Structure 1
Amino acid sequence: MTGFSSLPAAEEGGDDYEDSSRWAGVPRILGPPWAQLPILTVGLLGVQLFWSVEMSYASPYLLSLGMSKSSMAVVFVAGPLSGLVMQPLIGVLADNSTSRFGRRRPYMIGGTLLCSCAMLLLGYTRPIAAIFTGYDNEANDKWTIALAVLAVYIIDFAINAVQAVDRAILVDTLPSSAQASGNAWAARMLGVGSVVGFFAGNIDLPSYFTWLGSNQLGVLSVIVIFWLLLVHGITAGLVKERVLLKRNSEKSLGQTFKREFKDIFTNIFNLPRTIRQIFAVQFFAWIGWFPILFYTSVYIGDLHKREVGQAQATLIDAEGTRLGARALFYSALISLVANVCLPSFVAETASKTRGAALPASPTLAKPPRLTVPPRMKVHLATLWAASHAVFAICMLGTFIVDSVAGGTLLIALTGLSWAITQWAPFSLLAQAILTEPAGATDESIRLADARGHEERERFLVGDESDDEDEGGMHRRHSADERRGSVMSNSGAQLSVVAIDRIASDDNAPREGGGGLAAKAGIILGIHNLFIVIPQFLVTGISAIVFAIFDPDQSVLHGGHGGVPMHNSTATGDSNETAGDASDTLMFRDDEADESDAGGSNSVVYIFRLAGFSAVIATVLCYRLARDLRHR
């Protein structure tokens, strides 16, 4: 699974946004041609390793510290909040940076260092807190929880910033002819990062790295920090940016940021029907996806403790968490394979406005190697609807599944749906914009690389010197310079869509001060809202459900939930990171099971809610597919 990611778009065009800037140098990638795209995109592999650790270990770790499930749910509002705030903020700041190191590189380096410190804090929270409070006291318990929560927030905000910059530097560096290939490599890096991250999480790492401590999260944090720094060091060292010398814009950063939010909310009710349908599907789909991203390890861990019994719970918490990571590993593996194969089964859609065929997946610029007979191909919206149906079946399957093997199978199968979620809605959104009848408005929107001919020629491979002189300065319009500022979510995107404008009349007056190019960016911003808002909603619902079924319940067995056993480290020698005491999973379970398990497995109720929401998404997506097929 992938974490949150930005969807760069072209900047709003028009007179009031148009400005001229002075530049020095040209963007290029040092190294042999075969290594250029891996060098440019390898940073996303490190980013995905971080997301994998947080998705598999953060929830059970917070619970192991004695935090209730209700409080834990509130903590993870950091995910949607960081996606909503950080990516547009970093986009605006980076686009206007005049650092001699480039616009993206300083934020990339600063973000990775901040991520590394926060991950180290999360992995060794209790020993760090003990520096100030000592072990085995109430102050240490409180400081440990506070520092762990702080670490989660810093990780979410910083990694969103790094991922936004990684995406932006890809758009900045590659010419239009290489954009699709670059995004395909980005997809590969994210997919491989998921597989490697979850695979490492299901191994008993302390037995191999005894010198890093005895808790799984601590060892894992050191490993992912090493790789995050290494891969971004490669990108920062070998990818050369052009330098912004002076920006001749009358608008301040605050005005730009404010204008972006204002345009989103003033245009949200004026969208074409197809786009509204896509947003509605995304809303209900993400009510389902958010629990899978952050509660899977808790769910599998609770099933594991239910199987072995309460008496052994203190010995199997770490094993339960590793089983959760293993389920996510299987899901990521299926997702990676599906991402390679499924686009071949999607029929291309002809654009009514341009007479061209639109690619089934925005990550594919060339015909796939897998040849599929036309009769076996389906409309992309139909495939998307089928993915929601599979996801709904998996989540509603929690009504009958009460074993680790069954739960692992359900989670693994969601990887098939997640693979389609990573690109289908973005491709459909692109098609909806492309095929909007030109006569409906004064302008229409098309998807393309927003670079001019001059910029396409600036992609140099090389061994040229970094030194630039005044003769290397360029003065040009910067319509492509704020792509990263458009609000977007990470959670499900493996491709970059650049948007610019086709005007039916080039001299037509701008409507509402934004023009259709601005509206294209606004559409992406509104799309992000329909991904982020359901995450806030399900966070609140989860907190209520957990408060009802696990009211202020400590997850450590015996004694105060926050007091570690003697000589414990950040997570305790018992490595209790699998969630609260195992509970009854099914409504049909009897009271004896509830007594043995210690309460209610409240996570399963959230998964069932996700299933019902996915059913709604399936119905809405089926209607969308029917409408698109009949066009």
Structure 2
Amino acid sequence: MAQGASWSGQPSIKGSTESARMALLTASLIGVSFTWGVEMTYCTPYLLQLGLTKSRVSLVWIAGPLSGLIMQPVVGIIADRSTSRWGRRRPFMVVGTAIVSVSLLVLGWTKEIVSVFVSDPETRKSVTIGLAVLSIYAVDFAINAVQASCRSLVVDTLPIQKQGLGSAWAARMGAMASIIGYAAGATKLNSIFGNTLGDTQFKQLTVIAALALPLAVGITSWAVTERVLISTGKEEEGSNGAIKMLTHIFRTATHLPNRIAAICWIQFWAWIGYFPLMFYSTTWIGEIYLRYDAPAEAKQSQDTLGQIGRVGSMCLIISSLINFASSIMLPWFVISPEDEKRDFTPRPLASLAPLVVGADKRRPTLLTAWTVSHLVFAGSMLMAPLVSSVRFATVLIAICAVPGAIAGWAPFTFIGIEINRLGSTSNGHAYRRLSTDSLELEASTLHLNHRTDDSHSSTGELSGIYLGILNLFTTLPQFVGTFISWIVFSILEPGKSPELAKEAHPDEHHSTDGPNAIAVCFFIGALSVIVASYATNRLKYIR
């Protein structure tokens, strides 16, 4: 952001306590995570049920990294320069939410919509698949815009010393949404709603998600007031705006500060491993269930999609509960970066002093916890090909929940600190730890002490572009993961899913013998996460 940028107002959050303010600030991420959960739980088996092969489904999931690659940095940089009177982030949150909600409803009723316009059965199957894929792309592109804006809003609103707390709350909200989403997926919703929201589990979940996201985003939009950018301090050439924007993204991404670059590369290696688990875990658990644990009558069920979704959701509820508990408890046991060099010495009661001091000395730093979490994740996924029961699969995924909690906390904490450090040094001012005096509580509203006349305020004006670039390094490895999955599925399971394609192709039969291809993808991803652990450990030596 140019030095001549001018601002109006101060960011504020409604709420009478810090916990209430943090909850309101990050409430939008409940809707985002719930939507992701519905998509990741049901869309893979849904596409398999429509008749796509696993190798083709893996190519459909290019939508995830492609949308992140395009939308998050582009939306970030456009929002960074937005002079909307509603703020820089909230307009994108609202518009993106509307697109997601409509696309979810289209996805849930794809067959019905197509049947209105297409009568030929074979053509109808192809068009149904095409519309479903387009709906998934629309959801992915729009939800990435919403997520980018929600994350940037947290960085924009909070001062430096609250960035870690904000990231921790964001992780908690994501974990809470996962619990709610998987609990809904594990419940027979038609026993609660009948056919009011749809005649299948999948339809009812898309309706719930289409309502939950606007509600969550609406809460945050109401509770948070952004400071308004009046001028960036330089003239923009409209005719070359797109080219300049892409050039700026490329130039920034290729000339990152050392520590931000290191954090981005950690994300790159980690997400080659996290990506397959995110998108294929429910399908994997469902296949394990049908291959090894399901009774004979379950294998003949006409609602295989709902059955696999419920079995997978039950397992993921356990994982989400552990993830949620970890997101709450880990900040107590892990030293956050802003607390590593405290300017005070805690003085507990004399009788408790030895215990408290001893425990405090043994607390790991967030960087150490992040390093170890990669190894825990990798160790679990290396055993995935050995799984032959839902119980074993549940244990492995539950173990990965703790690394998942740290993965949702650590990178955003470190990147938020680095972004704000850059803002504090942009005009020659050394980075300093802000005192608690920078928080002014008036009329139960949090007002954060931002300067309105220059670019060295306590928040990073370039949070959109840097968080967008972090997302680039989160999405680029998903292309790698997709390519790996495509190769593995093409070799090990080239046919249509024997468990899920019965309705679309009742005359085709394929064997379930041999290694599970999804488990092999998990194994390969685990090797990459080991590299991420090494890269994380090196971050302590980078200045």
1:123 aligns with 2:52: no
Alignment partner of 1:202 is 2:186: yes
Match of 2:475 in 1: 532
1:345 lines up with 2:333 in the alignment: yes
Deviation at 1:179, TM superposition (A): 5.3
Task: Tell me which moved more, 253-262 or 81-90.
Answer: 253-262
**Deviation, structure 1 residue 239:** 3.4
Structure-2 residue corresponding to 1:160: 144
The answer on 1:93 being equivalent to 2:78 is: yes
Aligned to 1:393: 379
Residue type at the aligned position of 2:389: S
Cα RMSD, aligned residues only: 4.0
Measure, in 1, the Cα distance between the counterparts of 2:335 and 2:48: 46
Residue 129 and residue 52 in structure 1: after superposition, are their counterparts in 2 closer, same or farther (change >3 A)? Answer: same
Match of 1:261 among 249, 259, 264: 249
In structure 2, relative to structure 1, the CA distance for the partners of 1:189 and 1:432 (3 Å cut) is closer
1:476 corresponding residue in structure 2: 453
Matches of 2:162 and 2:414, distance apart in 1: 22
Give runs of aligned pairs for residues 43-442 of structure 1, distance below 5 A.
43-134=28-119, 137-174=121-158, 181-210=165-194, 211-252=196-237, 253-254=241-242, 256-267=244-255, 271=258, 276=262, 280-307=265-292, 308=294, 312-315=298-301, 316-347=304-335, 356-357=341-342, 373-374=359-360, 376-427=362-413
Using structure 1 for the length normalisation, give the TM-score. 0.71
Change in 2 beyond 3 A, CA 1:299/1:371: farther
Confirm or deny: 8 A CA contact 1:30 1:239 kept in the other structure. yes
Deviation at residue 435 of structure 1 after TM alignment: 11
Listed one character per residue, the Cα deviations across residues 540-588 of structure 1 (whole Å, up to 9, x for unaligned) are 111121122222425566777368x9xxxxxxxxxxxxxx9672364xx
* Residue matched to 1:561: 504
Distance 1:31 1:557, change over 3 A: closer
Instruction: Read off the aligned partner of 1:536 and give its amino acid letter.
Output: F
2:40 & 2:225 partners in 1: Cα distance?
A: 33
Mapped to 2, the partners of 1:624 and 1:382 lie a distance apart of: 11
Contact 1:291 1:607 in 2 (8 A): yes
Q: Is the 8 A contact 1:301 1:321 kept in 2?
A: yes
Aligned to 1:494: none
1:550 is matched with which residue?
Answer: 493
Within 1, Cα distance between the matches of 2:518 and 2:274? 13
Deviation at 1:105, TM superposition (A): 2.9
How far off is 1:392 after superposition?
1.9
Report if aligned partners of 1:384, 1:424 keep a CA contact under 8 Å in 2.
Answer: yes
User: Contact (CA 8 Å) 2:104, 2:135: kept in 1 or not?
Assistant: yes
SS at match of 1:476: coil
Which residue is equivalent to 1:624? 538
Partner of 1:488: 467
Give a deviation string over 1:383-414, Cα, whole Å, max 9, x none.
33322222122112223220111111111111
Distance 1:56 1:557, change over 3 A: closer
Query: CA–CA distance in 2 between the matches of 1:310 and 1:621?
Result: 48
C-alpha displacement at 1:432, in angstroms?
A: 8.8
Contact 1:260 1:486 in 2 (8 A): no
Partner Cα distance (2:439, 2:322) in 1: 39
Deviation at residue 322 of structure 1 after TM alignment: 1.4
After alignment, is 117-126 or 36-45 more displaced? 36-45
Separation in 2, partners of 1:111, 1:168: 15
Q: Does structure 2 retain, via aligned residues, the 8 Å contact 1:87–1:487? A: no
Distance in 2 between residues matched to 1:313 and 1:372, nearest whole Å: 55
CA distance in 1, matches of 2:363, 2:225: 42
TM-score of the two chains, using structure 2 as the length reference: 0.81
- 1:541 to 2:484 alignment: yes
Q: Distance in 2 between matches of 1:121 and 1:340?
A: 36
1:482 CA displacement: 4.3
Letter in 2 for 1:194: S
| CA–CA separation in structure 1 for the residues paired with 2:223 and 2:193 | 31
Structure with the largest fraction of helix: 2
Number of aligned pairs?
512
1:335 CA displacement: 1.4
Q: Is the 8 A contact 1:47 1:163 kept in 2?
A: yes
Change (3 A) 1:447 1:254: farther
Which of residues 494, 504, 512 is equivalent to 1:583? 512
One-letter amino acid of the structure 2 residue matched with residue 540 of structure 1? F
Question: Residue 363 of structure 1 corresponds to which residue in structure 2?
Answer: none
Instruction: Give the CA deviation at 1:128.
Output: 1.6
Q: 1:101 to 1:189 in 2, by over 3 A?
A: same
TM-aligned CA deviation for residue 126 of structure 1: 1.0
Q: CA, structure 1 residues 20+218, in 2 after alignment: closer, same or farther (shift >3 Å)? A: same
**In structure 2, what is the Cα distance between the partners aligned to 1:551 and 1:445?**
58
Identity of aligned residues (%): 36
Whole-Å Cα distance in 1 between the matches of residues 412 and 78 of structure 2? 25
| Residue number in structure 2 paired with 1:597 | none
Cα distance in 2, alignment partners of residues 189 and 124 from structure 1: 29
Contact 1:47 1:228 (8 Å CA) reproduced: yes
Cα separation, 2, equivalents of 1:95 and 1:433: 13
Counterpart for residue 591 of structure 1: none
Shift of residue 605, structure 1, vs aligned partner? 1.3
Name stretches of at least 5 consecutive residues in structure 2 with no aligned partner.
345-355, 446-450
Deviations 1:209-267, CA, capped at 9 Å, x for gaps: 22222211110111122221222223333434444455542234436523432323543
The residue matched to 2:400 in structure 1 has which SS? helix
User: Does structure 2 retain, via aligned residues, the 8 Å contact 1:305–1:317?
Assistant: no
User: Which whole-Å CA distance do the structure 1 matches of 2:159 and 2:537 have between them?
Assistant: 38
Q: Tell me how far apart the structure 2 counterparts of residues 137 and 350 of structure 1 sit (CA, whole Å).
A: 61
Contact between 2:167 and 2:409, CA under 8 Å: does it hold in 1?
no
